[in-house]
Each structure stands twice: as C-alpha cells, then as structure tokens.
Amino acid sequence: MTASPRSAAASHPLALRWDIFCRVIDNHGDLGVCWRLARSLAEQGAQVRLWVDDAAALAWMAPGGHPQVQVLPWPLGAPSDIAEVVIEAFGCELPDSYQAMLGHNPQASTWLNLEYLSAEAYVARMHGLPSPVLSGPAQGCTKWFFYPGFTAETGGLLREPDLPTPQPAPSPQPLTVSLFCYEPVNLLPMLQRLSALPQAVQLKITAGRAQQAVAALEPVPALSRLTCQALAYMPQEAFDEMLQTCDWNFVRGEDSLVRALWAGKPFVWQIYPQHDGAHWDKLAAFLDVLAAPAVVRAWHLFWNADQAAPCPPLSASDWQIWQTWALQTQAQLRQQTDLTQQLVDFVAKKR
C-alpha cells in the first residue's frame, strides 16, 4: 500500500491530521504541555487527536476543550487509522497496534519524539536527528528527535502569538507571590523570609501538592506579614494570568517554567528531582544558558536543595537585578521561532 497523492495545499502540515500521544506522569506537566501543543496546532487550523492514558485533569485545565482537538483514551483497542503526523511525547511508547500501522506504510506518516525541555549541551546535538526503527512492529520507520530548548539550535518553546509584554513593578506594595511546588525541604524558611520582608506579602497557594506541603508544616510559627490564599484548580489561561499578575512566582516542572519565563517576572523554578541527581546538571545548564545573576542562582540552589539550607537574602538591589534579568530573558527568548511553528516547518521538510 502506498500513500495517496496530495495537492500542495493538502500536503501543508497544518492541513494534515496530527496525533499526539501522552502518558500522564505529572498531570500538571506532561499533559499540560501536550494540551498546549494540541490547542496551538488546532488554532492554526490543524485537526488534532490527543491520545492520553488519564485525561481527568483536562476537566479543570481545559474545561472548554477545543473544537478541533479530539481527546481519546489510551491504551488503544484497535485503531482504524493513523495520522500523517505522529508525536510521541516524552518518550512514551506508542501502542503496538499503532506502530504496526505505521510499519505497514513507513512513508505515510512523519513520526516525531517530542523530548523534555533542557538547556544541556546534548540538546543542540540531538535535535532533529533521525532514529531508525530496526525491530518491532514499526520496523522500517524513522522517528525524529525534536527537542524544545532555549537557543536557536533547538526546537524553541511553546508560545502564544499574542503574548503580553510585561511591565516592571518596583517595590510592589504588597508583594504578591504564587506558590506552585512539590515538597521543597526549605519551604518553611522561604515562608519565614517572605514574612520578614518590609512589605506585606500575599501568598497564592495552588491546589494539590503545594497546599498539601504547606498544610504539612502545621503548626507553623506566626508569620504576621504573610496572608495566604488557597486556590482551586484552574484552567491554563487563568494560571498564566496569575503568573503575569503576581510579582514573584515559584513554579515547578516544565510547563509552568515556560509560563514563568513568558510572564517576565522574578521566579524560582523547582526542577523535578531525580534519584540519580541528574537534575542538578539540568538546573546548572538552565542557569548558565540564561546567564542568571547571583541572586537568581542562590535562590534556585536554596529552593532545590535536598537538605536544610540558609535562606538567601533579598535586598532592594537584588530585586531590581532579578526583575531586569527576567524582562531581558523574556525579550531574548521571544526572538526565537516558537515550538509549534518549528514543528510545522520541520514536518514540511520531511514530507
């Protein structure tokens, strides 16, 4: 069987069908990235199917869905067809039945492995390379590595075309802080530092693990200048707006890191901890690639520490340096072609 001939218009990637496969490990991260990508493609005219093993979080993450994104359960029973573009997100293994259909006609689909975001040097070396499938039901096919990243040699970052331009807010009164985290060892010292700042602090605590981590601190010593607000689960648009309107953001994982970068506000990223310590190299590469100043480095090392550590200072001059860096970094990254457009361009070259 061979692929049917297509007109030039029909061969454009956005005129093709896209399948995105996602296994949920952290439903705020992996699923969040895949939904943003599916929505971004759909808003440019693509028909997208998102295959996911646990779509429960989409009920609050994307309550309205999208008319051109179909969410389907995974694992599959017996798929009837394959898409012209197939994205295997974050190294998830496609179902054997789907791989067999790809293997039946290796030229019919462009198959990409969308990798995790990293600033490490291997990303630029590996981005765009082929990975021939030498055995199994998809034998004879080729997968292509697609790496998001922070430099021109990578696949870029997910970004909306109407991203707002942030404005600096010197010495905000009161200071508004968002908290989206795992269970950082130094959570209490951070809260105590917030309470010791000269201005009052409003802390917005996201639903799930962040609220559970704060609750586990009880009884908490008096934090007189700190007002806490427990938030409900919220759609992605509301989460993005929260980061844009807060003065200081504590974020975790991959999806919210990118959103914090686009917010253009001072932020601290809690990287997903790995048992072998590989996350430290990933964190160091991120800070190096984006030329993070000393205050940003100190707070990232403190927030990601695996044992108690002294809380870094935060003077008025530190805050100004941090704000300037956040704005400059956002402006620098906006010069890149965004990830969705790079994916579309990449597929156009491979078909």
Q: Which of the residues are catalytic?
A: 30, 254
For residue 154 the two structure tokens come to 């990578």
Structure tokens at 181: 């985290």
- 3-state DSSP assignment of residue 86: strand
Spell out the residues 6+ positions from residue 300 whose beta carbon is closer than 8 angstroms to its own: 268, 269, 283, 287, 292
d(CA 10, CA 53): 31
| Residue appearing with tokens 């927030």 | 303
Closest CA to 235 of 21, 30, 35, 26: 35
Q: CA–CA distance from 117 to each of 7, 33, 141, 230, 233 (Å)?
A: 35, 10, 25, 29, 24
Residue closest to 37 by CA, chosen among 166, 153, 146: 146
- In angstroms, the Cα distances linking 68 to 17, 18, 45, 46, 64 are 10, 11, 8, 7, 12
Residue 22 pairs in a beta bridge with: 52
Looking at the chain, the number of H-run helices and the number of E-run strands are 13, 12
Q: Token digits for 64?
A: 């309205």
Taking the mean position of all CA atoms in its chain, how far away is CA 315? 30
What sign results for the dihedral spanned by CA atoms 159, 162, 167, 173?
negative
